[in-house]
Amino acid sequence: MAGLIPEEFLEDLRGRTDIVEIISEYVPLKRTGQNYVGLCPFHQEKTPSFTVSPAKQIFYCFGCGVGGNVFSFLMKIDNISFVEAVELLAERQGMEVPRTRGAREKQERRERLYELNAQAADYYHRILLHGEAAERARRYLNGRGLKKESWARFMLGFAPAGQGLLQFFRGKGYTIQDLREAGLFIERYGRLQERFQGRVIFPIFDHRGRCLGFGGRALEDEQPKYLNSPESAIFNKSRNLYGLHLALPAIRDKKQVIVVEGYMDCITAHEYGFRHTVASLGTAFTQEQSRLLLRYTKDIILAFDQDSAGSAATMRSAGLLQEMGGRVMILDLPEAKDPDEFLRSQGREAFAIALAERTSGFLEFRLDQLLKKYNPDNLADRAEIARVLVEELARIKDHVVREGFIRMAAQRIHTSEEAIRLELSRYLRKYRLQKDKTEKNRYNMEQGKQTFEMQPLAAIEAARSGLFSFMLQDRHLYERVKQELGRDVFSGKYEKYLDLFERHGWDNAADLLNQLAADEQQELAALLMRTEDIQLDEIQKERLIGDYIRTLKKGQLQKAIARKQSVLKEFEKNNDQEGIKNLLAELYLLYEELERLKTPRTVDSMSQERGE
């Protein structure tokens, strides 16, 4: 990963970036000793196990094992590439990212696609405004009540039939491969055909205003009614939100966002002054879209369509957003099928009143839906309502909110608060049992003794891992271990990590992670963090390190004894008396050394042995 961008630049950028500040934008953190802790954003938990070290500039979750530096955090939480994470941080610091040849070529391809899409958007827009073939499209948009200002603001366009776009791109230096990658054309029988013929075009931009792709609406009865650009190097509809680049100033100003389903809902909301509105590019929010939106605000109003598909999308989206930390409200507009129709029939003031008076929390909305489906006076229906509500309640982290809803729900479904709490307790117990298997790798370090809830490591491997973690904090200890045990006691993955430290030094652990694959980053982060908050004085620490060294020495001796015993059998088979005599003498010394190691030593005696 790091090879795409010069290492010196990455070190400089990482050095200017405070990982605590970045992660705090996503996760509420609380200082505990030298570190900061919070609830892990990558798995569900009730006890904080997500730890951030400002000294090492790394993070690690002791619950799910995810770890790394600031780049890997952004990559995982925002589902972006390494280069995109670097660009995001560089932009914050006002730095320009230098690129190696491979990275430059990759970025140039992306920039080429952005430029190609921008030119296509401009072409489609000019056709809509002035082209004879776009008369139907103009009548359609006028019939929908869209103002010409909105046509320009959202760069609406029209794709005529024929080869006009292909002719437009001829002579502009684009290759056939560029046109294929952009998704504007379909290749059939070796020829390129325009994808969006006869459709009104809605360009889709990212939060920076770069054109990623297009949505096209049919004007007749063609199917599908809406057609999107295919996924490409720059476009994935599950990671983007329509209108976000235009809505961001209002979202930041109001600290709130309205989420609608369709392009027309979004454009109409902006026309009527509700410019903090975005559209989901589909029927339900994805995790990536949720994270994108939650970067800018936690207060979210869902205003999806009023049909059954819209209600289902509302429930899925609201549950996901709330679980990820959003404060979700749901707008009820029974007078119209969608926000576009409501605004055009009822007006701006009515919509503003609805936002103020006709929004409900997700749990209230869920209960209303259940009460439409089930009869709370029927015992079986009441039990089913309670069962579904309990599943939703279990996802609510705020106990005050949970208790308030229990009181309200108990009244509306004609049962007692105690009955709902009992069902919730049962569900949580069952849920915890199911989660235990995946969360049993949480460990505690108390007085330097490791207590793993998952299957215990073999003693030698535990000693190797524990000693290695201490060595990563102290180069002098590494030199001591090399002298007492030899470097080959750390083979395989440990040897790879040591090579990195020896090449790059002990003072920039966060930068070393850029040299590793994702799984290795997590493992090294775990090794770096595991000794971070052990409360040991120097004597206790030295005793623990001594125990680790002694355990590994015993392992080395046991291996040596096993090898010599194997040779001894051969000598006995061949009746080699001289060889047997010499080997027995060597084995005696090895067993004597092994026995000596079994006797605990004081810190003073260990220091004397090292000549200190």
pLDDT tens sequence across 172-205: 888 888 888 999 999 888 889 999 999 999 999 9
* Residue of 340, 353, 426 whose CA lies nearest to 383: 426
Average pLDDT, the chain: 83
Tokens encoding 262? 């369709």
How are beta strands 199-205 and 157-159 bridged, if at all?
Answer: antiparallel
pLDDT given at position 295: 76
pLDDT given at position 344: 95
Question: Is residue 509's pLDDT more than 90?
Answer: no
The CA-atom distances, in angstroms, between 512 and each of 184, 245, 508, 524, 593 are: 41, 35, 7, 9, 39
Task: Enumerate residues 6+ apart whose C-beta is below 8 A from 429.
Answer: none
pLDDT given at position 318: 85
Chain segment 268-325, per-residue pLDDT in tens: 999 999 999 999 987 667 878 887 888 788 899 999 887 766 677 788 888 888 877 7
Domain 242-361 CATH assignment equals 3.40.1360.10: yes
pLDDT given at position 506: 66
How are beta strands 58-61 and 67-68 bridged, if at all?
Answer: antiparallel
- Whether the ω angle into residue 224 lies within 30 degrees of 0, i.e. cis, is yes
**pLDDT tier at 438, thresholds 50, 70, 90:** very low
Give percent of the chain above pLDDT 90. 32
pLDDT given at position 532: 60
Compute the residue count for the chain: 612
Interior/surface letters 585-595, b for 16+ CB within 10 angstroms, e for the rest: eebeebeeebe
Asked if 369 and 360 touch (Cβ cutoff 8 Å), the reply is no
Asked if 160 and 171 touch (Cβ cutoff 8 Å), the reply is no
Question: Is residue 2's pLDDT more than 60?
Answer: no
Report for 58-72, 253-267, 596-610: range of highest mean pLDDT: 253-267
Rounded Cα gap, residues 57 and 396, in angstroms: 31
Q: What does the pLDDT average to over 146-160?
A: 97
Chain segment 359-415, per-residue pLDDT in tens: 988 888 889 889 989 999 999 999 999 998 998 888 777 778 888 889 999 999 999
The CA-atom distances, in angstroms, between 193 and each of 161, 179, 183, 228 are: 10, 11, 11, 15
Topology (CATH level 3) of domain 102-235: DNA primase DNAg catalytic core, N-terminal domain (3.90.980)
**pLDDT tier at 437, thresholds 50, 70, 90:** very low
Cα atoms in the Cβ-side hemisphere of radius 13 Å centred on 245: 14
Q: What does the pLDDT average to over 255-269?
A: 95
Give percent of the chain above pLDDT 70. 88
**pLDDT tier at 33, thresholds 50, 70, 90:** confident
Q: What does the pLDDT average to over 339-345?
A: 95
* Residue of 14, 7, 233 whose CA lies nearest to 100: 7
Q: What does the pLDDT average to over 567-591?
A: 79
pLDDT given at position 504: 67
Asked if 83 and 73 touch (Cβ cutoff 8 Å), the reply is no
Neighbours of 286 (CB within 10 A): 20
DSSP element (H, E) containing 113: helix 101-130
Judged by average pLDDT, the poorest of 130-134, 309-313, 331-335 is: 309-313
pLDDT given at position 293: 86
Tokens encoding 479? 């030199």
Tokens encoding 183? 């998704």
Question: Is residue 604's pLDDT more than 70?
Answer: no
Question: Is residue 465's pLDDT more than 80?
Answer: no
| Torsion sign, CA atoms 598, 603, 608, 612 | positive
pLDDT given at position 27: 87
Judged by average pLDDT, the poorest of 57-61, 227-231, 255-259, 557-561 is: 557-561
Rounded Cα gap, residues 143 and 135, in angstroms: 12
pLDDT given at position 449: 31
Chain segment 345-359, per-residue pLDDT in tens: 999 999 999 999 999
Rounded Cα gap, residues 120 and 165, in angstroms: 7
Chain segment 419-435, per-residue pLDDT in tens: 999 988 888 887 666 54
Q: What does the pLDDT average to over 133-145?
A: 96
* CATH of region 2-93, choose from 3.40.50.880, 3.40.50.300, 3.90.580.10, 3.30.70.20: 3.90.580.10
Burial label for 326, CB within 10 Å (0-12, 13-18, 19+), is: buried
pLDDT given at position 374: 93
pLDDT given at position 28: 87
For the chain, give every domain's residue range: 2-93, 102-235, 242-361, 374-437, 449-605
Chain segment 360-371, per-residue pLDDT in tens: 888 888 898 899
pLDDT given at position 4: 66
pLDDT given at position 439: 41
pLDDT given at position 444: 38
